[in-house]
């Protein structure tokens, strides 16, 4: 009798290809039916690399605001998402169902593609010489590349659903599909391009 394959939410295969070599070591695709490890890796340096990538996306969605403005108003979620892990995982499950219905593809593969496409490779930092600060372009580590990609995908969903008839699940599904297709309409892709453009000008 063969081994039973563990599938995400009991539906989606973990047979996913990561094309970016540097991100492959950090995108955890540890087979879990329900990606919730109850902060088992909390407060351990670099342990987040062992956390399933879907759970990491859920963690990024659980935030009190975005620091961004829509229509002149700073976005605040007023605790609707903070600490509500099961609620956020249900949002992701609904978003994945929508992606599968629209594209016919494995939504986990599309999420990985979206993260690969929206992960910036350069950023800027400030250095100080003789009392004068300069902006200098720097390469980004693979772990930070993934952090930024997850953050921007989550921010895009929260901003799209803010004061809108669009649900968070619909906004998340739309952003994953756009970023997965490397579409310039994606917020995460725009942020990546902006960061790399600023970095090029600081060389």
Which residues, including other chains, have CB under 8 Å from residue 148's CB and lie 6 or more apart?
Answer: 119, 120, 140, 191, 192, 195
| Per-residue confidence (pLDDT) for residue 133, from 0 to 100 | 86
User: Which among 28, 34, 24 is positioned nearest to 52, based on CA atoms?
Assistant: 28
* 114 φ/ψ angles, rounded to the nearest 5 degrees: -60, -40
| Per-residue confidence (pLDDT) for residue 151, from 0 to 100 | 92
In the block, tokens 């004068």 appear at 132
Query: Are 60 and 71 spatial neighbours (Cβ–Cβ below 8 Å)?
Result: no
Backbone Cα Rg of the chain: 18
| Per-residue confidence (pLDDT) for residue 186, from 0 to 100 | 94
Residue 125: CB atoms within 10 A of its CB come to 11
Q: What is the DSSP letter of 16?
A: -
Q: Which residues of the chain have pLDDT under 50?
A: 1
> Nearest 5°: CA angle at 112, between 75 and 10?
95
| Per-residue confidence (pLDDT) for residue 64, from 0 to 100 | 64
Q: Is the pTM of this model over 0.85?
A: yes
User: Which among 186, 9, 159, 180 is positioned nearest to 96, based on CA atoms?
Assistant: 9
For the chain, the structural domain boundaries read 21-119+142-198
Say which CATH architecture domain 21-119+142-198 belongs to. Answer: Orthogonal Bundle (1.10)
104-145 pLDDT tens trace = 999 999 999 999 999 999 888 888 888 888 888 889 999 999
| Per-residue confidence (pLDDT) for residue 172, from 0 to 100 | 95
Bridge-partner residues for 133, per DSSP? 128
Query: Are 172 and 92 spatial neighbours (Cβ–Cβ below 8 Å)?
Result: yes
CA distance 159 to 186: 12
Per 3-state DSSP, the chain is made up of helix, strand and coil in percentages (nearest 5) of: 45, 15, 40
Residue 146: CB atoms within 10 A of its CB come to 26
Structure tokens at 54: 């879907």
| Per-residue confidence (pLDDT) for residue 99, from 0 to 100 | 95
Query: Are 180 and 116 spatial neighbours (Cβ–Cβ below 8 Å)?
Result: no
| Per-residue confidence (pLDDT) for residue 72, from 0 to 100 | 53
């Amino acid at each position: 009798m063969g081994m039973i394959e563990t599938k995400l939410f009991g539906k989606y295969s973990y047979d996913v290809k990561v094309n970016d070599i540097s991100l492959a070591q950090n995108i955890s695709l540890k087979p879990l039916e329900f990606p919730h490890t109850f902060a088992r890796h909390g407060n351990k340096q670099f342990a987040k690399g062992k956390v399933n990538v879907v759970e990491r996306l859920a963690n990024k969605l659980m935030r009190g605001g975005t620091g961004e403005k829509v229509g002149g108003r700073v976005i605040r979620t007023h605790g609707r998402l903070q600490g509500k892990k099961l609620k956020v995982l249900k949002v992701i499950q609904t978003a994945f169902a929508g992606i599968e219905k629209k594209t016919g593809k494995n939504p986990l593969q599309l999420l990985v593609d979206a993260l690969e496409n929206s992960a910036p490779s350069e950023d800027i930092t400030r250095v100080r010489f003789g009392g004068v600060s300069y902006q200098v372009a720097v390469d980004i580590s693979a772990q930070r590349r993934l952090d930024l990609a997850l953050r921007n995908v989550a921010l895009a969903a929260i901003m799209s659903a803010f004061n809108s008839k669009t649900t968070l699940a619909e906004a998340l599904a739309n952003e994953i599909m756009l970023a997965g297709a490397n579409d310039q309409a994606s917020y995460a892709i725009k942020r990546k391009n902006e960061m790399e453009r600023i970095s090029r000008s600081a060389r």
